[in-house]
Amino acid sequence: MALLSKKDANLILDPLADNNPITIQVLGICSALAITAELKASIVMAVSVLFVMGVGNVVISLMRNIIPSKIRIIVQLVVVATLVIIVDQVLKAFAYELSKTLSVFVGLIITNCIIMGRFEAFALANGTWRSFLDGIGNAAGYGVILVIIGFFRELLGSGTLLGYKVLGDPIAKTGLYAIGYENNGFMLLSPMALIVVGLIIWVQRSRNKALIEEN
Amino acid sequence: MLEHVELFFKSIFIDNMVFATFLGMCSYLAVSKKVTTAVGLGAAVIFVLAVTVPLNWLLDQYLLRDGALEWLGPEYADYNLSFLSFILFIATIATMVQLVEIVVEKFSPALYNSLGIFLPLIAVNCAILGGSLFMQSRDIQSLGLAFNYGLSSGIGWFLAILAIAAIREKIRYSNVPAPLRGLGITFITTGLMAIGFMSFGGMLTGGDEAPKEGEENTVQTSEEEKIIEEAKENTVSFNNAIINE
């Protein structure tokens, strides 16, 4: 961390835990839940958001002095939409199957509240380097949660990780399946994503009592 | 006519925006602490969805999709501008929201007072953009159906936020484990509600009747039904667990 001063390092580290965009700030939930049935999709989504946030925050922060405040929302939307189109086209060109799985949720990065939230709250008021760090930090905090959810849903739901059969073959009855283990297909369905996030919040807030909120 | 009815109920219950596709979760979680505000936001979402989805349908049909520019002349038939749909859709939505805000303020100050603060919020609500994107990917056939789709998805979203707001008002008096208070319990409640909504899945296939939408769907439905049965047992025990705690 010699490169970064302590204050700058906090910009990255805070959103990873105590100021996490998903579990604390409640931003960007939609995509976090919808595409996490597989670990691979979660990772791709996390990387896409990392790219959009990092670049977007820099662009907005560079333009922060020339954007009239009345039309700032639409300027922000155009910047994000452009970046998302780039991500979408790259995915379609190099990972077509995956882009089918993600379907409309790549497009929905545009309305991912984390991005607009960070633009409004940080990039419009801070310098380029700090905005970049803030973008990376928040996107990473989002990505961490996404990967955790994806990990558990894929492991418990289909017994695989990134497509590898880590628990053995359910048809040939090898590995864990030999002793009667069954996949919980329910984990693959959308409601379980909500419950997994609920449990993550539970664990996080039990460890850090300061985060507990009023009922 | 039948397809309208089918789409209407399908969008409200089976493909409910919140419970099936998680669209608009951010405002769903943030603005559901009181029933009155939830009703305001829900009404605004219905309104904006019913306006923007048909509008974006026209854009998609006559500007964006493969060969859509044919009406300009045969030499334009090869253009496929669909990569522009994100930016055009979001621009339409932002403009419409602004326009709706101005018009409502001018002609109905009472409505503006109840919807007003929510309208700017809505431009970045994923449910609105999601409605247009799903309209595009599901290949809705006519303008009427597009309007129907926008309206009924809006109603589905409205029902969802109304339900969770009512539940949260009640939950305030319950003894929830401290770390789960607020956000955590709302997530889990929503999960349980989503499980409940999954039981609408068999509504349109009509039990034994052969389903209309091709085989893939059949497999999914029967699998889902099996899982739902298991889920119901789980839900009951889960509910009990929560009540006990």
Q: Are A117 and A27 in contact (CB under 8 A)?
A: yes
Chain B contact for A185, CB < 8 A?
yes
CB-neighbour burial class of residue A48 (10 A; exposed 0-12, middle 13-18, buried 19+): buried
pLDDT grade for B245, boundaries at 50, 70 and 90: very low
Binning pLDDT at 50, 70 and 90, where does residue A141 land?
A: confident
Domain ranges of chain A: 21-153
CB contact under 8 A, B22 and A190: yes
CB neighbour class for B215 (10 Å; exposed up to 12, middle 13-18, buried from 19): exposed
Q: Which of A26-35, A66-75, A121-130, A134-143 has the lowest mean pLDDT?
A: A26-35
Residue A184, pLDDT above cutoff 90? no
A120 in contact with B at a CB cutoff of 8 Å?
no
SS3 at position B162: helix
A150, A43 Cβ separation under 8 angstroms:
yes
Is there a contact between A190 and B188 if contact means CB atoms under 8 Å apart?
Answer: no
Strand partners, B88: none
pLDDT in tens, B93-125: 888 888 877 877 787 777 777 665 667 667 667
Are the C-beta atoms of residues A155 and A168 closer than 8 Å to each other? no
Give the A window 46-75 contacts with B, CB below 8 Å.
73-74
Pick from A9-13, A153-157, B145-149, B176-180 the range whose average pLDDT is largest: B145-149
CB B184 to CB A190 under 8 A? no
Q: What are B164's two structure tokens?
A: 């969770």
- Grouping H, G, I as helix, E, B as strand and the rest as coil, residue A67 is coil
CB contact under 8 A, B22 and A34: yes
Q: How far is CA A79 from the centre of its chain?
A: 19
The phi-psi region of residue B139 (left if phi > 0; otherwise alpha if psi is between -120 and 50; otherwise beta) is left
Q: Which two tokens stand for residue B57?
A: 């349908």
Listed ranges A17-21, A66-70, A131-135, B74-78; the one with the highest mean pLDDT? A131-135
Report whether B37 contacts B55 (CB < 8 A).
no
When pLDDT is averaged across residues B171-175 and rounded to a whole number, the result is: 84
> Alpha-carbon distance B80 to A203, whole Å?
48
pLDDT at position B115, please? 65
Stretch B221-236: mean pLDDT: 52
What six digits make up the tokens of A5?
């001063």
Optimal mutation site among A26, A86, A89, A101, interface B, most CBs of chain B within 10 A: A26
- Please give the Cα distance from B236 to B240 (Å, whole number): 6
Residue range A94-113: mean pLDDT, rounded: 80
A-B CB pairs within 8 A amount to: 155
Q: How far apart are CA A92 and CA A167, in angstroms?
A: 31
The residue ranges of every structural domain in chain B are 2-202, 210-245
A203 near B184, Cβ under 8 Å? no
Task: Please give, rounded to a whole number of angstroms, the shortest distance from the CA of A162 to a CA of chain B.
Answer: 22
Residue B233: band (very low, low, confident or very high) from pLDDT cuts 50, 70, 90: low
What integer pLDDT is reported at residue B114 of this predicted model? 67
The angle formed by the CA atoms of residues A2, A6 and A7, to the nearest 5 degrees, is: 135
Whether residue B22 and residue A30 make contact (CB cut-off 8 A), yes or no, is yes
Q: What is the pLDDT of residue B120?
A: 67
> Is A107 near chain B, with CB under 8 Å?
yes
Report whether pLDDT(A104) > 80: no
Which residue reads 């939930």 in tokens?
Answer: A29
Does A191 sit within 8 Å of B83, measured CB to CB?
no
Q: Which residues pair with A164 in a beta bridge?
A: A161
Calculated CA dihedral for residues A3, A6, A8, A9, nearest 10 degrees? 80
Residue-level pLDDT at B154: 92
Q: CB A186 to CB B91 under 8 A?
A: no
Chain A residues lying within 8 Å of B123, measured CB to CB: 73, 77
Residues 6+ apart with CB under 8 A from B197: B13, B14, B16, B19, B20
* Chain B contact present for A163, CB below 8 A: no
Closest chain A residue to B23, measured at CA: A30
Take residue B58 and report the two structure tokens written for it: 């026209």
pLDDT of residue B40: 79
CB B38 within 8 A of CB B137: no
Is B223's CB within 8 Å of A88's CB?
A: no
Task: Kindly state the DSSP code that residue A188 receives in the 8-state scheme.
Answer: G
The number of CA neighbours under 13 Å toward the Cβ of A193 is 28
Which of B24, B86, B176 minimises the CB distance to A85?
A: B86
**Cβ-defined contact of A26 to B87 (cutoff 8 Å):** no
Alpha-carbon distances, residue A66 vs A61, A70, A71, B2, B26 (angstroms): 10, 12, 11, 53, 30
Asked whether the beta carbons of residue B83 and residue A88 sit closer than 8 angstroms, the reply is yes
Q: Which has the higher per-residue pLDDT, B167 or A32?
A: B167
Question: Residue A189 and residue B224: Cβ atoms within 8 Å?
Answer: yes
Does residue A104 sit at the B interface (CB-CB below 8 Å)?
A: yes
pLDDT tens by residue, B40-89: 788 888 888 898 999 989 888 888 877 777 777 777 777 778 788 888 88
What ipTM was reported for this prediction? Answer: 0.79
Highest mean pLDDT among A136-140, A185-189, B83-87: A136-140
Using an 8 Å Cβ cutoff, are B89 and B129 in contact? yes
Q: What share of chain B has pLDDT > 70, as a percent?
A: 79
Per-residue DSSP letter, A164:
B
B30: chain A residues, CB-CB within 8 Å: 26
pLDDT tens-place string over residues A48-76:
888 988 898 888 888 888 888 777 777 88
Q: What pLDDT was estimated at residue B212?
A: 46
Q: Which residues of A touch B86 (CB under 8 A)?
A: 81, 84-85, 88, 107, 110
